[in-house]
Structure 1
Amino acid sequence: MGQQNHTWTQSFVLVGFAAPGSLRPLAFLGTLCVYVLTLAGNLFIIVLVRADAGLSTPMYFFISVLSFLELGYVSTTVPALLRTWLRGRAPVPAAGCFAQLYVFHSLGMTECHLLAVMALDRYLAVCRPLRYHALMSRQVRLWLAGATWVAGFSAALVPASLTARLPFCFREVAHYFCDLAPLMRLACADTGWHARVHGAVIGVATGCNFVLIVGLYGGILRAVLKLPSAASRAKAFSTCSSHVTVVALFYASAFTVYVGPPESRSKGTDMHMALVYALLTPFLNPIIYTLRNKEVKEAVKRVTVRIRTMWKEP
């Protein structure tokens, strides 16, 4: 009987959200629109940063790296959600399921590290303005960006490989993509040890980076409060407000889902919170970083003028 049950792991079935059949087309179109806008918004930032010399600063370099990461992050999960809206329960090969689990958590932990690097960038810009460009040279920026990807994809090997080795007695994943908690609920064996290891790995990636971000912003706050005028303090705060908003969105949803044992949360909580960090946050990031941003607006004007001039030239 045990051997027969284990053959079920050749594939899993993504159950997704329970919704009447009449609402599925509407949900599919709504999700598709958000997905397309998310891709377009993040691609817009990447292209604009590369096209305009006025945005060739360390801050916008890291914002473009974040946008590139978000393209992969949202594309890892949303196509699976679209398929469940369109076809209902969707079978997924076990190898594909574990690959999705690994890539998703790799990108998630990479984002944790990248947000900490972006906080360091803001700290140096506010607290070390005279040495900022020397400390954040092109070589340093490339090294820091590369290190975040290496750290994220290395750390994710642990939870992904441990989960892939579990014996599974059930195949219906109560989620719209393959995530840790829904898969662990399907295991035949006791997953308490696995949950502790997962919590330690993800906790270090999220917790240490979060503490670093809080510490850096504590230094920023002290430096800003020492500035002589209200205008200079407001300007300094404005360069950090977008990043603080993104950090709050990302960590609030991540802590809700991944802090604590999986059995302490309902199945619905995992799926609904996943929509926040896997779809809503990547969708909002381009808006947050461009809304009321004079530098981006000026860059758009400059690029638009250049394009018009090119079209007018014979």
Structure 2
Amino acid sequence: MLRENHTVVSEFVFQGFSSFHDHKLTLFMVFLTLYLFTLTGNVTIVTIISIDRHLHTPMYFFLSMLSVSETMYTLVIVPRMLSSLVESSQPISLAGCAAQMFFFITLAINNCFLLTAMGYDRYVAICNPLRYSIIMNKTVCAQLVWGAFSTGLLVAIIQIASVFRLPFCNREVAHYFCDIRPVMKLSCVDTTLHDIINFIISSLVIVVPMGLVFISYILIISTILKIASAEGRKKAFATCASHLTVVIIHYGCASIAYLKPKSENTRDQDQLISVTYTVFTPLLNPVVYTLRNKEVKDALYRAISKNPLA
């Protein structure tokens, strides 16, 4: 019977925001606006960093890689979410669902470890400034970016192989994209072991990079407090403020989404949390780094003035 049911389910259907049926048009307009701002902001950051020689440093190299990753991350989730608000009950094949989950996991983990690399960069810049250019050379920067992506890729392969070996008896996904937990709930068999494995993996890819970032900032703060001049301390804190803001919100949302007990929230609460890290969090990167970062604002001004090399 399980085999028969498994062969019957050849595609999934997202229930999406069916609980908010009367507000779908409003949600579509809000999410579309945020999505366009996210794309515009991240593309602007990548463009400015690439054309302005003042930003050709490891810190902004990592920022540009994060912007590229965030852009791809939203492309995987948001367009289909928007289309589901216009046309209900859009099906997705098992292969399509696996592909969406694969890219989502890869890019989400990549973002976590890129933020860790950025934290390490700030640690070296403040705690070991005389050797900064030697330690954070182009090879090391490339290796950190490749390591972040490779980690995401490896975890995604493991997760996809685990989830899509399950037999599925139900085709209605109580979500707006193929996330791990909602898809596993459609299985015909007990998924307790898979839930435990998923929790362990989620804990490792969230807690480990988050822990490394906060260790970096403990060392950074202790070094800054030793700076004699108030102006020097203020300048040092300013170089970290944007990154620390993004880190706290990014890891905070990820922890709430994946480290909480799976039965703690209702479906609507789960979707609200998911919207936070798939729609709102990617917008933080361009907003924080353009509004709070003087160097990026100066670069934008030079670009608008058509003199990026000034």
Question: By the TM > 0.5 criterion, same fold?
Answer: yes
The amino acid across from 2:126 in the alignment is V
Cα distance change of structure 1 residues 221 and 308 upon mapping to structure 2, 3 Å threshold? closer
Give the equivalent residue in structure 1 for 2:263: 263
Does residue 71 (structure 1) correspond to residue 71 (structure 2)? The answer is: yes
What does 1:91-102 correspond to in 2, within 5 Å? Answer: 91-102=91-102
Give the equivalent residue in structure 1 for 2:26: 26
Give the equivalent residue in structure 2 for 1:245: 245
The amino acid across from 2:152 in the alignment is G
What does 1:82-161 correspond to in 2, within 5 Å? Answer: 82-161=82-161
Taking the aligned partners of 2:211 and 2:4, their CA distance within structure 1 comes to: 47
Deviation at 1:307, TM superposition (A): 6.1
Deviation at 1:79, TM superposition (A): 1.0
Taking the aligned partners of 1:20 and 1:74, their CA distance within structure 2 comes to: 22
Give the equivalent residue in structure 2 for 1:287: 287
Unmatched runs of 5 consecutive residues or more in structure 2 = none
Give the equivalent residue in structure 2 for 1:222: 222
Deviation at 1:264, TM superposition (A): 3.7
Does residue 205 (structure 1) correspond to residue 198 (structure 2)? The answer is: no
Give the equivalent residue in structure 2 for 1:312: none
The amino acid across from 2:177 in the alignment is F
The amino acid across from 1:269 in the alignment is Q
Taking the aligned partners of 1:264 and 1:183, their CA distance within structure 2 comes to: 18
Moved over 4 A (4+): 19-22
Q: Does the residue aligned with 2:92 lie in a helix, a strand or coil?
A: strand
Q: Does the residue aligned with 2:189 lie in a helix, a strand or coil?
A: coil
The amino acid across from 1:240 in the alignment is C
Aligned residues: 309
Deviation at 1:305, TM superposition (A): 2.9
Taking the aligned partners of 1:127 and 1:229, their CA distance within structure 2 comes to: 16
Taking the aligned partners of 1:22 and 1:191, their CA distance within structure 2 comes to: 34
The amino acid across from 2:297 in the alignment is K
- Contact 2:242/2:292 (CA < 8 Å) preserved in 1? no
Taking the aligned partners of 1:242 and 1:30, their CA distance within structure 2 comes to: 25
Q: Deviations over 1:211-235 (max 9, x none)?
A: 1111111100100110112211111
Cα distance change of structure 1 residues 260 and 196 upon mapping to structure 2, 3 Å threshold? farther
Q: Does the residue aligned with 2:13 lie in a helix, a strand or coil?
A: strand
The amino acid across from 1:278 in the alignment is T
Deviation at 1:301, TM superposition (A): 2.4
Q: Deviations over 1:184-229 (max 9, x none)?
A: 1111111110011111122111111111111111100100110112
Give the equivalent residue in structure 1 for 2:233: 233
Deviation at 1:22, TM superposition (A): 4.9
Q: Deviations over 1:127-171 (max 9, x none)?
A: 011111111111211121111111111112112211111111111
Taking the aligned partners of 1:111 and 1:23, their CA distance within structure 2 comes to: 31
Give the equivalent residue in structure 2 for 1:14: 14
Report which stretch shifted further, 211-220 or 24-33.
Answer: 24-33
- Contact 1:175/1:182 (CA < 8 Å) preserved in 2? yes
Deviation at 1:306, TM superposition (A): 2.9
- Contact 1:158/1:201 (CA < 8 Å) preserved in 2? no
Taking the aligned partners of 2:38 and 2:8, their CA distance within structure 1 comes to: 35
The amino acid across from 2:291 in the alignment is L
